[in-house]
Chains A and B, each alone.
Chain A
């Protein structure tokens, strides 16, 4: 197993006729993802890389049986696109779009409601899950890729990867693959202040997932995602967790690209996050270049304690 996406994932692409939507539809199809439909208002009947285009999400979902949607719609229309997917009860909604107004995402989260009371998806009856926005998407290696991650960096295996970044995730995943460690599912949760899913939401799934043996968490300065993750890990996780936190050298009060990466009011510094994660039993990796090797060595020692002691 893996989490969120697998063999039965049938994908819609909202904004499929745009440049990014069309380009990544092709890449997703090449990877083997079952992209079954696209949505662009007013473009019904077109084909994009052989994928039929519909006017609305509801129409597309009914015609294709889609249970997931990837959104490439430009920021100013993205809120409506997300709400449309929620109203059509699509089980998994992945928002790639960058630059969505924060209050729009507040409205989206309001519509979703607290996790316990979320509207459920049509076929599964499970609560609708939102990933992103401003994220690279998620990949279950060898099976299904929703988003813009380069496909070739992945390999199937037992490491779950959660990250707030894009390219840094690619780097980490590629290091794991080169070290001979495949991945169960790799998820970029996004870099915006208001997100659909948190580290904690997804750690819960990875802890329960039978394929996942260990988790790599890629954090960065700003907000309190890592701190929340640390308290969950301490209380509920039995699987080993590794973490890298980017931005140790960042000056205070300087924004580093992401809206989320602001050090505000003494909370959210890399040093605080690293300390909190260590206290929760997480192996924190100092160098972004040592992620693959550190996980390999540590898991090798866990699997074969004698060999590690001798070596």
Chain B
């Protein structure tokens, strides 16, 4: 996976550690913890009576408010009831797809009186290979829609990797966002905090939507989204430990654990390919031939017999698959390893669906020889990609 997502409550704990103001809050992983979380939060807020707080579902997706994932509690009993309701079901939002995501925890949080909502994010401009601050006075909205409908309302400020946000950048953003002098000073601290987190966590994205100005004129990060660069997690074991595997697709997760890149799709032709580009091209040619791929699967450049065997297992766990297309161009990957993996898998998994195999490249003759000797496997070989795709589409019908 390219980036690991954090939950809102995890990101806010990091925000707080970087002196970025966040609302007071308490987390409950279980419904039974909600009442004490409510009481503790009430106390932290100075024991107002009645005390009203938000109960926010923690899932790796946005659009929670509209999907009923943010509820209001006026008592410990109500907090418990809301927590029980949210934690017991999958939340379907505009960003999750119809299957939704399980709610891993709830965040109880004080409610603030908002005067204005702003948008602030720090990410990477790939083309210029530079970190980039994005800001808008139109916070609390779908920022991609804002970028399209009102491009001038989205300010971009590149940040030098060795310098961070300069006072001049802070001043320009403060002016563009309509901050008072005092809020401008807080904004500068927020920017410094975001920058510190960006570097310290190897973040791919930090997004605050909205960053609010309260009626008391305070600047507070009302929401927090962070994704981290997977490739850098080796130097952040404490952050890697925050991974919530419940939020990930089970087959994709299982594949990732053995170094295979798998994405489930909606068709019935399973695909096993080496290399991401070739795997996408294989899905394309299946579609051109009138079929529908069941998955994208890249076994990687240096896969071994065991990984190939496991990759077959993952493809076959999808019950819709009624034909498999194997497309290998051997470079580092040797065709005879693929063939051996295929044979192992067919024995171990009792592969009943037809398998179309197209092998090219390193040790291709040895690979084809192994497959010719196979027994009990419905094997169809093809030398060319187009031919292989047509055969797979026919067999899947």
Contact = CB atoms under 8 A, between A and B. Distances in A.
Interface of A: 20, 23, 75-76, 98-107, 109-110, 136, 148-150, 153, 163-171, 174, 191, 193-194, 198, 218, 220-221, 223-224, 228, 244, 246-251, 254-262, 265-266, 286-290
Contact of A257 (B235, B276, B361, B385): B276
Q: What does DSSP make chain A's interface, helix, strand, loop or mixed?
A: loop
Contact of A169 (B160, B277, B293, B330): B277
B147 to A, nearest CB: 7
Contacts of A149: 331
Contact of A165 (B204, B235, B275, B384): B275
Interface in B232-273: 232, 234-235, 261, 263, 265, 273
Nearest to A260: B126
Interface string B273-297: 1111111111111111000010010
A198 B277 CA distance: 17
Given A101-B202, A170-B361, A247-B284, 9 more contacts: A20-B332, A102-B229, A166-B331, A167-B331, A168-B275, A174-B329, A220-B277, A259-B231, A261-B276
Contact of B277 (A76, A101, A110, A165): A165
B184 interface: no
A197 to B, nearest CB: 12
Contacts of A228: 127
Contact of A266 (B148, B263, B330): B148
A276 to B, nearest CB: 15
28 contacts: A20-B302, A20-B332, A76-B234, A101-B202, A101-B229, A102-B229, A102-B232, A103-B161, A163-B277, A166-B331, A168-B329, A169-B277, A170-B329, A170-B331, A171-B360, A171-B385, A191-B277, A249-B287, A250-B283, A250-B296, A255-B261, A256-B279, A257-B279, A259-B2, A288-B282, A288-B284, A289-B384, A289-B386
Given A170-B331, A249-B283, A261-B276, A103 B288 contact: no
Given A102-B231, A246-B281, A287 B386 contact: yes
Contact of A289 (B234, B293, B302, B385): B385
Q: What does DSSP make chain B's interface, helix, strand, loop or mixed?
A: mixed
A194 B129 contact: yes
B277 A102 contact: no
Contacts of B301: 98, 148, 166-167
B1 interface: yes
Contacts of A255: 1-2, 261, 263
Given A150-B330, A288-B284, A106 B384 contact: no
B385 A167 contact: no
B204 A102 contact: yes
Contacts of B280: 168, 220-221, 246-247, 249-250, 256-257, 261
- Size bin of chain B's contact surface: 35 or more
A292 to B, nearest CB: 11
A150 B361 contact: yes
B283 A224 contact: no
Nearest to A149: B331
B347 interface: no
B331 A136 contact: yes
Contact of A76 (B2, B124, B235, B385): B235
Nearest to B289: A287
A100 B161 CA distance: 17
A149 B332 CA distance: 8
B176 interface: no
B261 A99 contact: no
Interface string B339-377: 000000000000000000000111000000000000000
Contact of B231 (A100, A107, A153, A289): A100
A2 to B, nearest CB: 21
A7 B213 CA distance: 65
A258 to B, nearest CB: 5
Contacts of B235: 76, 101
Contacts of B69: none
B202 A103 contact: yes
B296 A257 contact: yes
B254 to A, nearest CB: 16
A220 B283 CA distance: 13
Nearest to B276: A257
A165 B277 CA distance: 5
